[in-house]
Amino acid sequence: MEAAAETLRKTPLHDRHEVVGARLVPFAGWEMPVQYEGIKDEHLRVRSQAGLFDVSHMGEVETSGPQAQDFLQHVLSNDVEKLGEGGSQYSVLCREDGGVLDDLFTYRLGPERYLTVTNASNHDKDFAWLARQAEEYDVEVKDVAADYAMLALQGPDARGILARHIEGEAPARMKTTTATVAGVECLVCGTGYTGEDGVELMVPPDGATAVWDALTADGAAPVGLGARDTLRLEVCFHLYGNDLSEDRDPLGAGLGWAVKLDTGFIGSDALKDVEPQEKLVPFEFTGPGIPRPGNPVLIEGKEAGVVTSGSLSPCLGTGIGLAYVPAGKADPGTAIEIDVRGKTRPAEVRKKPLYAPKGT
């Protein structure tokens, strides 16, 4: 562990995490805070007030040039022509066979300029893929991950806190704008991964501590990656590597709403013929226990699927998760069982979200 830790990358906020005694763990090549005070407390703080996450491990790719829109339409699953200036859009990046390389948020910064946020563990793979596909287009695709630290301010109080530190207007949900926050010019995006209202801030690395200090001093509690995962799971947002992978297609994963087959993106031909045999569903335990990724799903006593995300829900107090089950068993209310290390735990397929944030 000690030797490996030396090779891990550190975010510009690393000292801030150490000084408050965060538990730091290796994550996708970075040393990241998994928790500060405790996952449950941090989770509930985001649901009731506001939390601040250091997500600087996320990668960024900038696409610019006369054919930027055409190029992104070719590689991203959503309809990029619908993405207006100052807007944002969720999509997946597919291989030719429809397997999912990553799931991404893309922000349109200008008429011919886009910023795409990648998952840390996929960033190098994504950039290589995009750079290769871009050879046929009049675009420049740049790896700009080193240009940005990324902070997420989330929770019902997030916008109130932000308002005291931003010069100008904060962007509405799903919008993005350039603004000065705590004296630092950054890209402010009305997005997040918690289901709560709030913003994500793309900050120059040397300005990250100023923004962090201002927001944490004004009521935003530091929140680690542990609570980030339980928050996203309660609202059924996908986690790449768990719920999405190159071996799964986006339709079975329930991402059909972000997959516009008629745009002709890479993978669309393969996906046109796909009738998913398995679907990703949210489920909740009806008794004790906590599901974990990899637990088998049992239907009528037989193994019929697999849990891809599982945890205790701090808001519901029950075991919750996402699982792939046969398409015919995916309706809300369907009784299933989860084999948790040899113990059979009753559960029920639910609608998403498993927990609906208040006021959203």
Partner 1 sequence: MAEASYPEELKYHPEHDWARIEGDTATFGITWYAQDSLGEVVFFDPPEVGATVTANESYAEVESVKAVSDVFSPLSGEIVEVNEALSDDPEKINSDPYGEGWLVKVKLSDTAEVDTLLDVAAYKELLG
Q: Where along the sequence are the contacts to partner 1 (CB under 8 A)?
A: 23, 34-35, 38-40, 43, 226, 229-230, 288-290, 292, 311-312, 314, 341, 343
Backbone region of residue 252 per phi and psi (left: phi > 0; alpha: psi in -120 to 50; beta: other values): alpha
Instruction: Tell me whether residue 248 or residue 345 sits nearer to partner 1 (CB atom).
Output: 345
- How far apart CA 195 and CA 185 sit, in angstroms, is 26
- Residue 235: CB minimum distance to partner 1, A: 16
- Residue 233: CB minimum distance to partner 1, A: 10
Beta bridge partners of 249: none
- For residue 282, cis peptide bond before it (omega within 30 degrees of 0): no
CA-closest candidate to residue 314, choices 51, 48, 26, 21 = 48
Instruction: Tell me whether residue 165 or residue 228 sits nearer to partner 1 (CB atom).
Output: 228
What one-character DSSP code corresponds to residue 76?
B
Q: In what order do the strands lie in the sheet with 59-64?
A: 88-94, 100-110, 113-118, 59-64, 140-143
Instruction: Tell me whether residue 226 or residue 267 sits nearer to partner 1 (CB atom).
Output: 226
Instruction: Tell me whether residue 264 or residue 288 sits nearer to partner 1 (CB atom).
Output: 288
- How far apart CA 296 and CA 252 sit, in angstroms, is 18
- Residue 175: CB minimum distance to partner 1, A: 33
- Residue 22: CB minimum distance to partner 1, A: 12
- How far apart CA 27 and CA 119 sit, in angstroms, is 11
Instruction: Tell me whether residue 326 or residue 346 sits nearer to partner 1 (CB atom).
Output: 346
- Residue 349: CB minimum distance to partner 1, A: 22
Three-class SS state of 59: strand
- Residue 46: CB minimum distance to partner 1, A: 14
Instruction: Tell me whether residue 302 or residue 341 sits nearer to partner 1 (CB atom).
Output: 341
Burial status of residue 251 (CB atoms within 10 A of its CB: 0-12, 13-18, 19 or more): middle
Q: Which amino acid is at 143?
A: D
- Residue 294: CB minimum distance to partner 1, A: 11
Q: Which amino acid is at 194?
A: T
Please check whether residue 336 is in contact with residue 345, taking contact to mean a CB–CB distance below 8 angstroms. no
CA-closest candidate to residue 147, choices 196, 187, 90, 91 = 187
- Residue 282: CB minimum distance to partner 1, A: 18
Instruction: Tell me whether residue 43 or residue 108 sits nearer to partner 1 (CB atom).
Output: 43
Instruction: Tell me whether residue 99 or residue 321 sits nearer to partner 1 (CB atom).
Output: 321
